[in-house]
């Protein structure tokens, strides 16, 4: 038998509790979730404010660094200017003495050819020899890559090591290899290595120009020294044939051809040609040469024609595409 319950017979407080209990449970769950997410929000907000404060401090430090960098850049620019002034003063002082001038030319290693068959070099500034390391035995005339390796295997690894060797001891090492190194003569190797070790590059270059594969002899026609060849190969030293117009910054093979067609074949020809005339030659050749600026070409050519390679190199360092900055 089905029992029927009448809601009218249920006491009012039971009905009230049946509604109140779910409400309280829902309220309690909502408060719990709100408290949890409130803590998460507060934690994230605290981290955000902390990172924001750090970013502000970093921005302030970066601003200070930029200000310091600008100050240092300004100081460096002033120092560079002062260095240039000192260099010019030193150059003027050296030029006052013909003896000092000759010494400077020798130490710079100038090899500008007086005859058409000779080659010309940009002046070898002292700092360029820094490219030659103490363990590069190939600076010695008569020593190539294979001989460099052979000497290293026998404990001769630096210029100092080679300079300290006796010629007989070196020859003994070579003789142990049989006929392999029979034609090699090491008589000048220790002397060359000693000059390299002591940084006497002008003496070493002068000595090597008179050697033939490291041997002394009647070498009446001086050749490029091993030092010069190495620096050229390393891209440190520039080498130009006599009256090669490409030695002028801003002049390439095509422009050189235009100048030759106009009768300008030597550095002296270019030095004696006015900028206006050169510009006319370029304009006549078409728009493809519109960006070429010959404003400094006669001056560069005059320095080349006068064998002033050190001055030319210094001048070209301040040029950009043949134009003064």
114 is a domain residue: no
63 is a domain residue: yes
195 is a domain residue: yes
Residue in 222, 33, 16 with CA at minimum distance from that of residue 121 = 222
pTM listed for this prediction:
0.45
Residue range(s) defining the domain that contains residue 80:
16-95
Residue-level pLDDT, tens digit, the chain, 325 residues: 455 555 556 677 766 777 777 778 888 888 888 888 888 888 888 888 888 888 888 888 888 888 887 777 767 766 776 787 677 777 666 655 443 344 333 333 333 333 333 444 445 666 677 778 888 888 888 898 889 999 999 999 999 999 999 999 999 999 888 888 888 889 999 999 999 899 888 888 888 888 765 555 544 455 667 777 777 777 666 667 788 888 888 888 899 999 999 999 999 999 999 999 999 999 998 888 888 889 899 999 998 888 787 788 778 777 766 667 6
111 is a domain residue: no
**pLDDT at position 96, please?**
53
Whole-angstrom Cα distance, residue 313 to residue 309?
6
Output the CA torsion sign for 235, 237, 239, 244: positive
101 is a domain residue: no
Asked if 131 and 231 sit in the same domain, the reply is yes
Tally the domains of the chain: 3
**pLDDT at position 107, please?**
34
Asked if 55 and 89 sit in the same domain, the reply is yes
**pLDDT at position 138, please?**
87
103 is a domain residue: no
Instruction: Determine which helix (DSSP H) or strand (DSSP E) holds 119, and give its type and residue range.
Output: strand 119-121
Asked if 249 and 211 sit in the same domain, the reply is no
Last residue of a domain, one of 217, 236, 255: 236
115 is a domain residue: no
**pLDDT at position 322, please?**
63
157 is a domain residue: yes
**pLDDT at position 267, please?**
92
Tokens of 90: 């030193």
């Amino acid at each position: 038998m089905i029992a029927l319950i009448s809601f009218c017979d249920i006491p009012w407080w039971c009905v009230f509790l049946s509604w109140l209990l779910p409400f309280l449970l829902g309220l309690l769950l909502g408060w719990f979730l709100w408290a949890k997410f409130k803590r998460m929000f507060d934690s994230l907000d605290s981290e955000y404010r902390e990172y924001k404060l750090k970013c502000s401090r970093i921005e302030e430090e970066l601003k200070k660094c930029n200000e310091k960098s600008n100050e240092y850049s300004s100081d460096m620019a002033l120092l560079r200017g002062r260095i240039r002034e000192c260099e010019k003063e030193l150059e003027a002082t050296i030029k006052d003495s013909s003896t000092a001038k000759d010494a400077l030319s020798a130490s710079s290693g100038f090899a500008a050819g007086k005859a058409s068959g000779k080659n010309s070099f940009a002046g070898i500034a002292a700092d360029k020899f820094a490219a030659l390391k103490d363990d590069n035995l190939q600076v010695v005339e008569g020593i190539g890559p294979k001989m460099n390796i052979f000497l290293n295997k026998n404990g001769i690894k630096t210029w100092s090591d080679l300079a300290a060797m006796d010629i007989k001891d070196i020859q003994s090492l070579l003789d142990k290899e049989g006929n392999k190194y029979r034609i090699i003569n090491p008589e000048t190797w220790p002397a060359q290595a000693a000059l390299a070790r002591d940084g006497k590059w002008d003496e070493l270059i002068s000595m090597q120009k008179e050697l033939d594969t490291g041997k002394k002899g009647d070498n009446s026609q001086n050749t490029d020294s091993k030092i010069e060849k190495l620096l050229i190969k390393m891209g440190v030293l520039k080498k130009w044939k006599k009256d090669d117009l490409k030695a002028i910054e801003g002049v390439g093979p095509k422009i050189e051809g235009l100048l030759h067609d106009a009768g300008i074949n030597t550095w002296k020809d270019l030095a004696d040609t006015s900028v206006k005339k050169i510009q006319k030659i370029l304009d006549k050749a078409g728009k493809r040469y519109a960006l070429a600026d010959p404003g400094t070409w006669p001056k560069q050519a005059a320095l080349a024609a006068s064998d002033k390679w050190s001055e030319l190199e210094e001048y070209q360092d301040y040029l950009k595409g043949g134009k003064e900055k």
